[in-house]
């Protein structure tokens, strides 16, 4: 699909997601190679050279981009992110949800802002929403009627079957609490 340099340049200009694994491009002036979907600034066409693999780019004297990390596969990122989120969830469960974002991020070796995005991408909710869910499950709301969602919190779509987690190793996720508005109003009146 992206065999000619013209089709590769068009895919690079448009940041075509279909080209993400099809080829790599290097910038002659910086000696850095990237994926076509890298958010970095687009170089002049005269300074761009295309490669089919990372070994070809590295043998030509280019180094990997530190932003899109083309030398690593996407599955390595996901596995590392899931491991970090699993550790953070265990910490929040043990502490009853009362763990600051900075200490969670520090314990897994990420910055708070980046960890927040990673957590939301893996779990489908923010760390604070997960902490609230943990606190609610340990509070007086436990006796109220609720609906359990059978939708998993960990997003496995796009992974090959060998990397999908089974139920025994899935990330811990408490059931989602949904209240009828009348039930919520009654509990709010009692707290006043």
Domain coverage including residue 119? 74-191
Position 37 scores a pLDDT of 86
Position 146 scores a pLDDT of 45
Position 28 scores a pLDDT of 95
* HSE of 45, CA atoms in CB hemisphere, 13 A: 9
Tokens 């690593």 map to which residue? 72
Position 169 scores a pLDDT of 44
Position 168 scores a pLDDT of 43
Same domain assignment for residues 110 and 52: no
Residue 78 lies inside a defined structural domain of this protein: yes
Note down pLDDT in tens along the chain; length 192 residues. Answer: 788 889 999 989 988 888 888 899 999 999 999 999 888 899 999 999 999 989 999 999 999 998 888 887 665 677 788 888 989 888 888 888 788 889 889 998 889 999 998 888 888 888 888 888 888 877 644 554 444 443 444 444 444 454 444 444 444 444 445 555 666 555 555 444
* HSE of 172, CA atoms in CB hemisphere, 13 A: 14
Single residue among 20, 46, 64 that ends a domain in this structure:
64
> How far is residue 56 from each of residues 10, 62, 71, 94, measured CA to CA in Å?
21, 9, 11, 48
Domain count, the chain: 2
Position 181 scores a pLDDT of 60
The arrangement of strands across the sheet holding 32-34 comes to 48-51, 24-27, 32-34, 63-64
Same domain assignment for residues 55 and 79: no
Residue 69 lies inside a defined structural domain of this protein: no
Same domain assignment for residues 134 and 186: yes
Position 156 scores a pLDDT of 45
Residue 97 lies inside a defined structural domain of this protein: yes
CA proximity to 113, closest of 99, 126, 95, 129: 126
- Where does residue 113 rank: exposed (0-12), middle (13-18), buried (19+ CB within 10 A)? exposed
Single residue among 37, 64, 91 that ends a domain in this structure:
64
Residue 48 maps to which CATH number? 3.40.10.10
> How far is residue 51 from each of residues 29, 61, 98, measured CA to CA in Å?
16, 12, 49
Position 75 scores a pLDDT of 59
Tell me which residues are annotated as active site: 34
Same domain assignment for residues 38 and 83: no
* HSE of 15, CA atoms in CB hemisphere, 13 A: 8
Residue 167 maps to which CATH number? 1.10.10
């Amino acid at each position: 699909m992206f065999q000619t340099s013209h089709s590769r340049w068009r895919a690079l200009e448009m940041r075509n997601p279909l080209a993400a694994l099809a080829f790599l491009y290097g910038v002659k002036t910086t000696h850095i190679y990237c994926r076509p979907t890298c958010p970095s600034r687009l170089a002049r066409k005269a300074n761009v050279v295309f490669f089919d693999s990372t070994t070809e780019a590295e043998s030509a004297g280019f180094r990997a981009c530190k932003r899109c990390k083309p030398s690593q596969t996407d599955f390595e990122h996901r596995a590392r992110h899931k491991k970090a989120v699993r550790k953070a969830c265990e910490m929040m469960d043990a502490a009853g949800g009362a763990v600051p974002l900075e200490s969670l991020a520090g314990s897994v070796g990420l910055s708070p802002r980046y960890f927040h995005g990673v957590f939301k991408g893996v779990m489908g909710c923010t760390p604070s929403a997960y902490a609230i869910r943990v606190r609610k499950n340990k509070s007086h709301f436990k006796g109220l009627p609720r609906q359990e969602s059978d939708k998993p919190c960990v997003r496995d779509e796009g992974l090959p079957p060998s990397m999908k987690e089974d139920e025994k190793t899935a990330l811990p996720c408490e059931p989602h609490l949904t209240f009828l508005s009348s039930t919520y109003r009654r509990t709010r009146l009692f707290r006043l």
